[in-house]
Amino acid sequence: MSEEHAKIAVIGLGNAGLPLAAVMADSGITVIGVDINEVRCKMINRGENPIPEEVGLDELLKAHGGKRLLATPRFEDARVCQTFVVIVPVFVDGGNNPDFSIMQKALHSLGCILKKGDLVVLETTFPPGTTEAMAQIRLCESSGLSASDFFLAYSPERIMTGYSISRLREFPKVIGGRDEESGMLAYQVYRKFISNLHLVSSARVAEMIKVMEGCYRDVNIALANELFKICEDLGIDFFEARENANHQFCHIHLPSTGVGGHCIPVYPWFLIKEMEKREHFSNCRLLRSSREINDEMIHYWAERILLECMKINKPLSSIKICIKGITFRAGVKEFYHSRNLGLARLLAEKGLDVYAADPLLTGDELASKGIRYIKPEQSDLVFDPFELKFIAAEKN
Amino acid sequence: MSEEHAKIAVIGLGNAGLPLAAVMADSGITVIGVDINEVRCKMINRGENPIPEEVGLDELLKAHGGKRLLATPRFEDARVCQTFVVIVPVFVDGGNNPDFSIMQKALHSLGCILKKGDLVVLETTFPPGTTEAMAQIRLCESSGLSASDFFLAYSPERIMTGYSISRLREFPKVIGGRDEESGMLAYQVYRKFISNLHLVSSARVAEMIKVMEGCYRDVNIALANELFKICEDLGIDFFEARENANHQFCHIHLPSTGVGGHCIPVYPWFLIKEMEKREHFSNCRLLRSSREINDEMIHYWAERILLECMKINKPLSSIKICIKGITFRAGVKEFYHSRNLGLARLLAEKGLDVYAADPLLTGDELASKGIRYIKPEQSDLVFDPFELKFIAAEKN
């Protein structure tokens, strides 16, 4: 490995890219971070942390922001690097097909500065086969290089907002190359800042590993939701049963209003859509059922809320219902596929007098999501979607 | 607790009951075991082990059989006891509804010797609610006692043939009463021979705990089977991906030809049938899908076997196919819901020239299952259903 691969560009300084860039810099690597968000770049270069909920990131940015970690909105500034890590989002569109538009734009811009001998490592989670097909083709197109002119590998991010720094430092991380040489080179570069690193046989296997993890989570949350509903039906305390059922061989998850965020509700679709494209419908029945069960949980909770209204001595139409928390996860100000926001909207759609309160949001921010604010104590019924608990106001 | 509860009767000395009775006796308790199988009773009283694959049972039976552990085919002989543990099988019938016939017969006979103040603990896995409803009613009917005359509790067995003794000695075991007094009494009696014992709030919760565990296993095996099929489709080595995907929060199981035996393929039906009876069809979609996916795996493997035949330069109809293992699990001579036996029968049904070989079975024993024996080396294609591997004979 030539020494120049030690200067690394990180394309994308979002919730996943920024902690990674900061950990690299903290390992003594010079990092050039590229992000289209100029305000964010300036913050980082002043040593300020744009993701306050990320434990440990404050210190790293204070130490390295504007010094070993330089943020820039211009790809051109990263031309001096020989290793490029791409970590920009891939979502699913309205039809649950992967939406590569941001990724393709980033790869196009990267191709324009890519040189012979450079190494590109992708970190974004996407369908198995994407690195060796879509990504490689796009890089060749815009760089004018042939595929054998550069090295290409894949290493899925395993971050979780709030815990990303410790995950990067302790959690196992896998990496796999488009070919053996790419895999070996990428492994050597990544070893400098990732201690628990595992080289796998191909980029495709590394891609599958990350998607499989997400599927495990989604299916097991669907199972927890299904068992929770059955327990409620049978008059059994799910939580007591779960606590005593779980042991070294049994890992029943927690029930919820569904699964939100950028990861778990998205990844199963990568496999479902690929199988459906191949007309192998029976190969993704469990994944599809799990997605449906989790997404439909808001209907279950809407009915539970309606039934809870029987305890209140008022006409149903005048009962003020407060959903206490509309972000997708407690403590994280994000709404992507938020089932709690979905629940509030579903109740409004049914014509109920629904409001929300969220410690992370102002009334104006709630209004921008189409939901009215209420102080919980001024409502008649409060539903906490994170605790799955009802709090009936005493005034009735 | 009166001292008399220390003499315990175990009703059912099968694969689950006998290890339990042996562990009780080894803890210094006088045990009277009741089983309709007279030959088995005589063996036990001679100190001989009818379950040779059960590690550690030999020693326990040699030490206590015919001494502290007395086996008898007559319920009458157990009348001296004040604690009765019932551990006889409950299966599902052709329509996947629970078949309580053996259990009801045992409870009827037990009722005939039941006295005021006695304690009955059920260990058989069955649908939540069975102890406080069916079992209690049946005991009252045949004893003439009222429910408050005797104590009733439930503590699910968590044995696994081959590992039962260590499971009883180390694994957490839960126990719950029909009422608080029954739960406390049962807990005190069981503490004498179970060290890792947990009292839960009711028999119903204890019943659910065991069924939930089975559902977790079945759903996760279905997930492994689905991910395995997707990996095969995408040209990815499932086993490499699984090894690297699993960590403290991810527990992807192993793929298989399906799920056999008395436990995992049976328990989900207890909940599915109960939900369907209540017309709550959407509460058991994942459990039902998982059952179907696992049971249909033999169709997947039948196709894989057919495709493998393309490698053999012979007409398909004259290719001798050998299924190497037809028991439901490797190393255990049991056939209940064996998917491997199901696979052999499915191939025969399709008109293929199918045979089997199983180290645990003679040719006559195979014939009694309707399957012809062949030496693996005399066949053209060998499929090992435990390893999911093909062994093509070299002679072609």
The domains spanning A210-295 and A297-392 adopt the same CATH topology:
no
Averaged over A19-25, what is the pLDDT? 97
Span of A104-118, A325-339, B172-186, B204-218 with lowest mean pLDDT: A325-339
> Residue A5: its pLDDT value, please?
60
Question: Could you say which residues from 83 to 142 on chain B have a Cβ atom under 8 Å away from some Cβ of chain A?
Answer: 128-129
Using the structure block, give the residue that is written with the tokens 């409803």: B133
Span of A2-11, B6-15, B321-330, B337-346 with lowest mean pLDDT: A2-11
- Name the pLDDT band for A86 (thresholds 50, 70, 90): very high
Q: Residue A284 and residue A99: Cα distance in Å, rounded?
A: 20
Averaged over A300-320, what is the pLDDT? 96
- Evaluate the CA torsion angle A294, A298, A299, A303 in order and state its sign: positive
* Cβ-defined contact of B231 to A245 (cutoff 8 Å): no
Which residues pair with residue A43 across a beta bridge?
none
ipTM of this complex prediction, to 2 decimal places? 0.95
Sort out which chain B residues have CB atoms less than 8 A from A167's CB and list them.
none
pLDDT digits (tens, 9 = 90+) for B283-307: 999 999 999 999 999 999 999 999 9
**CB-nearest partner of B216 from A235, A252, A285:** A252
Any A CB within 8 A of B293 CB: yes
* Pick among 3.40.50.1980, 3.40.50.720, 3.30.2320.50, 3.40.630.30: CATH of A297-392: 3.40.50.720
- % residues pLDDT > 90 (chain A): 92
- Evaluate the CA torsion angle B47, B51, B57, B58 in order and state its sign: positive
pLDDT digits (tens, 9 = 90+) for A324-355: 999 999 888 889 999 999 999 999 999 999 99
Q: Residue B8 and residue B189: Cα distance in Å, rounded?
A: 9
* Cβ-defined contact of A289 to B287 (cutoff 8 Å): no
Class assignment of domain A3-201?
alpha beta
Any A CB within 8 A of B272 CB: no
> Residue B334: its pLDDT value, please?
87
Of the candidates B110, B102, B101, B99, which has an alpha carbon nearest to the alpha carbon of residue B141?
B110
Burial of B351 (0-12, 13-18, 19+ CB in 10 A): exposed
On the question of pLDDT at A394 being above 80, the answer is: no
- Name the pLDDT band for A198 (thresholds 50, 70, 90): very high
pLDDT digits (tens, 9 = 90+) for B130-141: 999 999 999 999
Any B CB within 8 A of A375 CB: no
Mutation target for B interface from A163, A211, A250, A264: give the one with most B CBs within 10 A: A250
* A210 included as an active-site residue: yes
pLDDT digits (tens, 9 = 90+) for B238-248: 999 999 999 99
Sort out which chain A residues have CB atoms less than 8 A from B292's CB and list them.
285
On the question of pLDDT at A395 being above 60, the answer is: no
> Residue B396: its pLDDT value, please?
42
> Residue B3: its pLDDT value, please?
56
User: How close is the nearest chain A Cα to the Cα of B231, in Å?
Assistant: 8
Any B CB within 8 A of A204 CB: yes
From A210, A215, A320, A322, the catalytic residue: A210
On the question of pLDDT at A22 being above 50, the answer is: yes
What is the second-level CATH architecture of the domain A210-295? Orthogonal Bundle (1.10)
Q: Interior CA angle at A33 toward A29 and A34, to 5°?
A: 155
Helix or strand run (H / E) with residue B31: strand B31-34
Any B CB within 8 A of A160 CB: no
On the question of pLDDT at B364 being above 80, the answer is: yes
β-pairing, B91-92 with B98-99? antiparallel
Angle between helices B17-26 and B57-64 (to 10 degrees): 60
User: Are the C-beta atoms of A83 and A119 separated by less than 8 Å?
Assistant: yes
3-state secondary structure labels for all residues of B341-363: HHHHHHHHHCCCEEEEECCCCCH
Any A CB within 8 A of B23 CB: no
Task: List the domain boundaries for chain A.
Answer: 3-201, 210-295, 297-392
> Residue B1: its pLDDT value, please?
45
> Residue A1: its pLDDT value, please?
45
Which residues pair with residue B381 across a beta bridge?
B321, B392
**CB-nearest partner of A226 from B128, B237, B286:** B286
Q: Residue A183 and residue A151: Cα distance in Å, rounded?
A: 8
Tell me how far the alpha carbon of residue A317 is from its chain's centroid.
Answer: 37
On the question of pLDDT at B123 being above 50, the answer is: yes
Strands (E), chain A: 8-11, 31-34, 69-72, 83-86, 91-92, 98-99, 119-122, 151-154, 173-177, 197-199, 320-324, 353-357, 381-384, 389-392
Of the candidates A309, A315, A300, A310, which has an alpha carbon nearest to the alpha carbon of residue A388?
A300
Helix (H, G, I), strand (E, B) or coil at A235: coil
- Evaluate the CA torsion angle B144, B149, B154, B157 in order and state its sign: negative
* Cβ-defined contact of A233 to B275 (cutoff 8 Å): yes
Averaged over A53-57, what is the pLDDT? 93
Report CA dihedral (B170, B171, B177, B182) to the nearest 10 degrees: 0
Mean pLDDT score of chain B: 95
Any A CB within 8 A of B299 CB: no
